[in-house]
Structure 1
């Protein structure tokens, strides 16, 4: 049975071949001189290259069975994810140049993805939906409140905001693909499967993210309770990105959920108006 999508019919998922930080060095504590915030974002970035490749391979098998406009949206999704992967590979290289060993974090993320790849294809697609919801919630928080990235070095801040813009643009592509792929699945089974996968993906992601953060803090001699109290206050109190994410994740478990229940296209337009394309690229 076909399911109606809440994705706006006029939605634009733009292809922006933007490159950040080329020819520039990065401060070791690039996020406002704060080791905790820097470690958190570096830890998050260490998961993206392998994670985004997983998203593309999880959604690609379903492309040819879909109709327009979803088929073209899948193509645009894969383009955006490929550029995100490229930019985070470069960002991670800058973290290495600043003196961090992020290989253990990348290896940990790779092991988690390898575990996910051993699941059936429909479960891999469900995991992509769950993690795309996680990144879209973070993206909304980052763009809605400038406190999240305000103190960061300009080029790093621009890269993360660009990534956030595109995560919002394509936030429902995996979910609409899931709805199409499971159109003949009983509703209760569909809901149960995506809910179990969300709970599992969330637990594994939080473990990887905070374990990676702790390792990076240890390299600075800052893996102590003072640094963690400050970081957790930043993440869960004010501005509270992870608090916003957790609230959003709870909504994911509701039957009938759809990512475009929250229409944040105006937020994207506002962010684009203040984001200068790097290196003379054309804004879109």
Structure 2
């Protein structure tokens, strides 16, 4: 089941992978969504809820990781792209924080889950990793995570997964996916400016993989366990119903993930810009 978002007049700059633009969207009506706003499915909805928790702090992490080396970038075009990247990430964080406010109103334990995420990821894991390996590893992880978010964005658009979302959530997810595709090479190009080490790049990607999928699973299930509307029977019925979507996402994102290990890989090789531009026009 999918819901069509009410059309809202917006002037939106087209996608340009050579020069990312900041688009202030200001999505409204998120508080009007149902409890299970992705295909009426609790498993899928709480997967997205997990990312609403991950993204705002994650975007701030990305910004700090890139800004730490921005002064080493001498290419004027990349300097401009860094500004566009930062502007987009700021907007992503703001819109996902609106989604968190919606979840709070639904009675979800957002503060508890967010506190767990921030304390474990940023209070412990990243503190230890930076102490052991320095800020270059954080930049490498950021480049790897950007490949994941862009890959998820491309798969979401290619298979129309965003159409399963209700109302403005459909538009929020679509817009975020398009901009992840648009700026997907920025952190990678900064990393290549700082270090062309294959070991650093792939080690960062392996850490990104563990963090990305690990927190998605844990936070999703924290939402599920706290949901009084999900019992044993509904959990497994919704899990089964979510199977085709999950398989599509995991298989297709997995294919794109393995490309990252090619010695001559660059994010632009996966394309997706025309796809993102066509999708963005539907908001």
Structure 2 length normalisation: TM-score?
A: 0.85
Which of residues 102, 114, 132 is equivalent to 2:146? 132
**3-state SS, counterpart of residue 69 of structure 1:** helix
CA apart distance, 1:222: 4.2
| Mapping of residues 122-161 of structure 1, within 5 Å | 122-146=136-160, 148-161=161-174
SS at match of 2:36: coil
Going from structure 1 to structure 2, the CA distance change for 1:129 and 1:10 (only over 3 Å counts) comes to closer
The answer on whether the counterparts of 1:26 and 1:95 sit within 8 Å (CA) in structure 2 is no
Partner of 1:46: 53
The question of whether the paired residues in 2 share the 8 Å contact of 1:30 and 1:152 is answered with yes
Give SS of 2:164's match.
coil
Task: Tell me the residue number matched to 2:108.
Answer: 100
Q: Contact 1:21 / 1:156 at 8 angstroms: preserved in 2?
A: no
Relative to structure 1, the CA distance from residue 179 to residue 271 in structure 2 (aligned partners, 3 Å threshold; closer, same or farther) is: same
1:28 aligns with 2:35: yes
Matched, 1:116 2:129: no
Q: CA deviation at 1:149?
A: 1.8
Q: 4+ residue runs of structure 1 moved beyond 4 angstroms?
A: none
Greater share of residues in helix: 2
Structure 1 segments unaligned to the other structure (5+ residues): 1-8, 184-189, 276-284
Between the aligned partners of 1:232 and 1:121, the Cα distance in structure 2 is 38
Conserved? CA contact 2:142–2:208, under 8 Å: no
Segments of structure 2 that go 5 or more residues without pairing to the other structure are: 1-15
Q: In structure 1, how many angstroms separate the alpha carbons of the residues matched to 2:79 and 2:45?
A: 37
TM-superposed deviation, 1:90: 0.7
Pairwise CA distance, 1:105? 3.0
> Which residue pairs with 2:268 in the alignment?
260
Measured in 1, the distance between the counterparts of 2:31 and 2:238 equals 28
Output the aligned Cα RMSD.
1.8
Q: Which residue is 2:200 aligned to? A: 193
* Aligned 8 A contact 1:133 1:249 in 2: yes
Cα distance in 1 between the residues matched to 2:30 and 2:203:
44
- Provide the residue aligned with 1:186 in structure 2: none
Counterparts of 2:219 and 2:114, CA distance in 1 = 9
Matched, 1:246 2:254: yes
1:197-208 to 2 correspondences below 5 Å: 197-208=204-215
Separation (CA, whole Å) in 2 of partners of 1:80 and 1:86: 10
How far, CA to CA, are the matches of 1:137 and 1:232 in structure 2? 19
Q: Distance in 1 between matches of 2:153 and 2:264?
A: 22
Match for residue 280 of structure 1?
none
Higher mean alpha-carbon deviation, 213-222 vs 27-36, is at 213-222
* Residue in 1 that maps onto 2:191: 178
Cα distance in 1 for partners of 2:117, 2:70 equals 26
| Separation (CA, whole Å) in 2 of partners of 1:52 and 1:249 | 20
Shift in Å at residue 109 of structure 1?
2.8
Partner deviation per Cα, 1:211-261 (whole Å, 9 max, x = no partner) = 11112122132463333333344211xxx1122111111111111111000
| TM value normalised by structure 1 | 0.85
